[in-house]
Amino acid sequence: MKHQSIMVIDFGGQYNQLIARRVRDLKVYAEVVSYTKALEKIEENRPDGIIFTGGPNSVYKEDSPAADMKLYDLGIPILGICYGAQMMAHQLGGTVETAKVSEYGRTMVHVKDAASLLMHDVSENNIAWMSHTDYISKVPEGFKVTASTDNCPVAAMENEDKCFYAVQFHPEVTHSVEGQKILSNFVFRVCGCLGDWKMDSFVESSIEAIREKVGNGRALCALSGGVDSSVAAVLMSKAIGKQLTCVFVDQGLLRKDEGDEVEAVFGPDGPYDVNFVRVNVQQRFYDKLKGVTEPEQKRKIIGEEFIRVFEEEAKKIGAVDYLVQGTIYPDVIESGLGKSATIKSHHNVGGLPDHVDFKEIIEPLRMLFKDEVRQVGRELGIPEYLVSRQPFPGPGLGIRIIGEVTEEKVKIVQEADAIYREEIAKAGLDKGLGQYFAALTNMRSVGVMGDFRTYDYAIALRAVNTSDFMTADAAQIPWEVLSKVTNRIVNEVKGVNRVLYDCTSKPPGTIELE
């Protein structure tokens, strides 16, 4: 790392990546590293500041994660957050105890020392987010208290001479109203960062790191055409060019023209110098799905068949050294969560593969959030229509056709969906919606067209507002837009005589219909 940076040391808290992200929002590079590898990484990279994260343990218990004491001797400013604050107090000779009153959620913090660099320009009374049962009852020698709450005598402490700062609350969450100001005070006023880091620096250093890692080796990327795998593929291609092979499986369940769009970007006529393999296996998937109506069974068939095709193609290519995946940070969080009920078996290219012969997995976007991935995509010059794409599920239109999937039904839903997306974009609504698409209900109903009776399918239109896709509200699409889309679909898409709008939120519905 040649640019200025902050190293976030992970002690098991929930918001660790969020801290790094908030620092990157300040245009200072930040990354998260486990406390077990922190010293080594810090000596190697010499960051400008260190942040200790929160964590679920009690510092006074044996076996609780602890920072290497050498970190305090490096002359690098440190900010401890929650567990990180308590650990700093404990390690440097203060006292941490179980609090009589735990603090959870919004809490009023009183700033005691307006001259503190960390509290610069922070309101005397400000709302911050607390989540702790232990508290610092005595600060270490050389430290002073700079903020408190009604129940917590040490909401913030510091040793200005050594540049050690600590806050009991979580400045990284948006509920801490002046949290970003506090992080910015640490990064700029304490650590002296300039804030000149940009996503192109991330691109540059990633390319360098990939080149170093891959050397003369070969890499294989399962490309879905979605934002994450596309950005990962382009980043890899810039780094290692023809040493990369992208395999794109067109399983006949993509949106209208999507296969050709992906090929135009990554194929031989596109701007990138990669080996691109498009596998056209539409009929193979339709055959496999023939007569199958149960949603979970459909998902499993599509997921498994995808892996089979990918393996066959990988075998043709021969042994590769690296498998590239477009995993991004929210995927890491989701897969890291404990056991919860399976609502749907998700399948995406990130779930690949047990049997492909490779040495190691490369996940260049692993620490980024979706909007950061889009920024990287723009830096890399990927066309906007690919970069700003809404999420599309791994099983594709297979789960947007209720009941049996046939080629005819795929065509119908592709056409209806293309019209819907076109009109939503024309109305300027596309950027504001979480996800929107057309699905084919398996329902047929009677209609009348040109004095003739029809007995055709009903299309369901869905649009949701959501921030995390875990919960969602049905979006209120203006009636004129719905009415225009309906009119076009029934007139232009053969086999459809009725259009319905799905008003269900999630829960109780899910975003996709299956």
Positions touching ligand XMP (CB under 6 A) are 344, 346-348, 391, 393-395, 435, 469, 506, 510-512
In this structure, are residues 205 and 1 in contact, taking their beta carbons and an 8 Å threshold? yes
> Given the complex with ligand XMP, which of 129 and 437 has the nearer CB atom?
437
Three-class secondary structure of residue 33 per DSSP: strand
As a three-state string, the secondary structure of 275-310 is: EEEEEECHHHHHHHHCCCCCHHHHHHHHHHHHHHHH
Shortest separation between residue 120's beta carbon and ligand XMP, angstroms: 41
For tokens 């297979």, what's the residue? 398
Active site (annotated) includes residue 172:
yes
Report, in angstroms and rounded to the nearest whole number, the Rg of the chain calculated over CA atoms.
Answer: 27
Alpha carbon 168 to its chain's center: 27
* Pair of tokens at residue 158: 């510091």
Q: Which is nearer to ligand XMP, 317 or 433 (CB)?
A: 433
Q: How far is CA 384 from CA 151, 391, 444, 494, in A?
A: 51, 14, 38, 31
C-beta of 351 vs 447, nearer to ligand XMP: 351
d(Cα 388, Cα 289) in Å, to the nearest integer? 31
Q: How many residues does the chain have?
A: 514
Q: Which is nearer to ligand XMP, 263 or 512 (CB)?
A: 512
CA atoms within 13 A on the CB side of 329: 18
Residue 70 has phi, psi (to 5 degrees) of: -65, -20
The encoded tokens of residue 49 equal 């500041």
Q: How far is the CB of 352 from ligand XMP (least distance, A)?
A: 12
CB of 264 vs ligand XMP, minimal distance in Å? 23
Torsion of CA 323, 329, 332, 336, to 10 degrees: 160
CB of 5 to ligand XMP, least distance (A): 32
Smallest separation (angstroms) from ligand XMP to the CB of 468: 9
> Residues 248, 263: contact at Cβ < 8 Å?
yes
**Nearest distance in Å: CB 343, ligand XMP:** 6
Residue 369 or 469: which CB sits closer to ligand XMP? 469
d(CA 167, CA 109): 11
Catalytic pick among 172, 313, 423, 514: 172
Nearer to ligand XMP, 120 or 370 (CB): 370
Distance in Å, CB of 338 to ligand XMP, minimum: 18
Residues 6+ apart with CB under 8 A from 59: 66, 83, 86, 87, 89, 90, 91, 96, 134
Which residues neighbour 173 within 8 Å (Cβ) at sequence distance 6 or greater? 15, 18, 129, 179
Distance, CA of 143 to CA of 166 (rounded, Å): 10
Token pair for 1: 């790392």
User: How far is it, in rounded angstroms, from Cα 224 to Cα 352?
Assistant: 12
Which residue in 170, 258, 379, 514 is the catalytic one? Answer: 170
Nearer to ligand XMP, 164 or 437 (CB): 437
Active site (annotated) includes residue 132: no
* The one catalytic residue among 82, 152, 163, 191: 82
**Catalytic residue list contains 82:** yes
Catalytic annotation, residues:
82, 170, 172
